[in-house]
Structure 1
Amino acid sequence: MSRARTTAAPPLGPQRPTPARPLPAADPAWSADPYADALRAGRGPLFLRRADGWLLPLDVERWCAEPDPADLEVLGRCEGAVLDVGCGPGRLVAALGAQGRRALGVDVSEAAVAHTVRRGGRALRASVFDPLPGTGRWDTALLLDGNIGIGGDPAALLHRMARVLTAGGLLLAETVPYPDVDERVTVRVTGPHDTPGAPFPWARLGTPALLRRARACGWRAADRWSTDGRTFVALRAPATATAG
């Protein structure tokens, strides 16, 4: 069950904090036609393609469906105001809104943001590395569906999340269900017959790798669990935000 927080809910209007160091630019690859077309259709196949031809299937059907039991367990752990980073078509944001929770989705894809809004959720087209509303006052942030890989640099993403969340705030992240995975790769979004989009950096982490990187960035492990073959980690943000 969610716990009451003492922080005020962050406003959803513009707020422009000055980052302490240069941040990765928003990646246009997720706005490429194969991704947008798959979201509009509500189905794949859609993949991340590595330079060596390896394909990672993307679960578009699940993203476009209602939250499944694993999602619902994550939502039940959320505290206070929730920021869903890489919200995709908005199943989690919409579900939180239907519960009367204050939630905002952030995604670089125009199609994803439009889909979220049609479902009744609130969403902003932006990168997590852009200035965001309520920076430093979000109680919970979500990095599900592989989004711990955003930017291809988990340490930079964790530093950024520490600035987005309130001190001691909760990060709920999904990891790769293979413990030994710890890789940074360059990939492209592609469908089965599409020309792959522009290359961009991505990361894949199992739970041990994420916990190692989180500890090095000042985060505290709060919990880890598995549901329906998916694996998750709960982390507490540093008491003082790190640069990033």
Structure 2
Amino acid sequence: MTTAHDLDPAPHRAWSADPYADALRTGRGPLYLRRGDGWLLPLDVERWCTGADAVDRALLDLCEGAVLDVGCGPGRMVAELAARGIPALGIDISAAAVARTARLGGPALLRSVFAPLPGEGRWGTVLLADGNLGIGGDPAALLARAAELLVPGGLLIAETAPLDVDERVSVRIVGPTAAQTAPFLWARVGTPALLRAARAAHWRPVVQWSAEGRCFAALRSRTASSSAEPAKSAAVISSQRPRNPSPESVVADV
């Protein structure tokens, strides 16, 4: 699948170049997304470059089947899933992120979510953590792509902005020096905005929660009988068995 997102090289240059690559190599910030008006969004590089914390682990407890971590960054989620024996794959457009994920023992590909991917239509869970709902500046397109990647009725777990915000902006990555990347499109989406977009695209909200200042929502993709299915609680999700009868085969496609 090729889209306008793939044809625009700006995000690939931004996330593959200094200062982002330098921050991942050192495991330290400061690092920001900067809008044209000078507003700065801090990027939590130190947390991303450590192991999965309690909030991350609780999120991963909800995963079903084989897991695709979109925008995996330095790989803490993929590494935690691998340690649990859960088939998982990280994808990222940053070579530094993919290399760091591999060093942690997690499988990862240098790939855009909008490019062809292994196991399309067979993933049990798609993760969009750490603000990755912003990828491409088009949450509707990202939701549509996630639906293509998941098994029918599969699970999308997304981390949302901790505000009721819904904006599309042009940003640059900036670090502690004057170095900055070329501008690219990004989105900031709070839980209310995500749920509005999800319902319009026939996703079914399952659960939303917050922990340690971070906000999350889980959505289930459409199935033929989805309109008749009752909403499930977080406890039900975490107790479900993987939907994919052979999840290892998805990751084996890499």
Taking structure 1 as the reference length, the TM-score comes to: 0.88
Alignment of 1:31-70 (within 5 A): 31-70=16-55
Query: Runs (4+) of structure 1 moved beyond 6 Å?
Result: none
Superposed CA offset, 1:167-212 (max 9, x none): 110000000111x211110001110213210110000011000000
Alignment root-mean-square deviation, CA: 1.1
Query: What's the counterpart of residue 173 of structure 1?
Result: 158
**Aligned AA (1:36):** A
Please state if 1:211 is matched with 2:192.
no
Q: Which has the higher helix share?
A: 2
The CA distance in 2 between the partners of 1:108 and 1:46, in whole Å, is 17
Query: What's the counterpart of residue 167 of structure 2?
Result: 183
Query: What's the counterpart of residue 7 of structure 1?
Result: none
The CA distance in 1 between the partners of 2:131 and 2:3, in whole Å, is 24
Query: What's the counterpart of residue 239 of structure 1?
Result: 223
**Aligned AA (2:190):** G
Query: What secondary structure, in the 3-state scheme, does the structure 1 residue paired with 2:23 have?
Result: helix
**Aligned AA (1:132):** L
Structure 2 alignment gaps of length 5 or more:
225-254
**Aligned AA (1:167):** P
Structure 1 alignment gaps of length 5 or more:
1-18
Query: What's the counterpart of residue 5 of structure 2?
Result: 24
Contact 1:106 1:123 in 2 (8 A): yes
Contact 1:34 1:194 in 2 (8 A): no
Post-superposition offset of 1:41: 0.3
Post-superposition offset of 1:238: 1.7
Match of 2:144 among 147, 156, 159: 159
Contact 2:78 2:101 in 1 (8 A): yes
The CA distance in 2 between the partners of 1:107 and 1:123, in whole Å, is 8
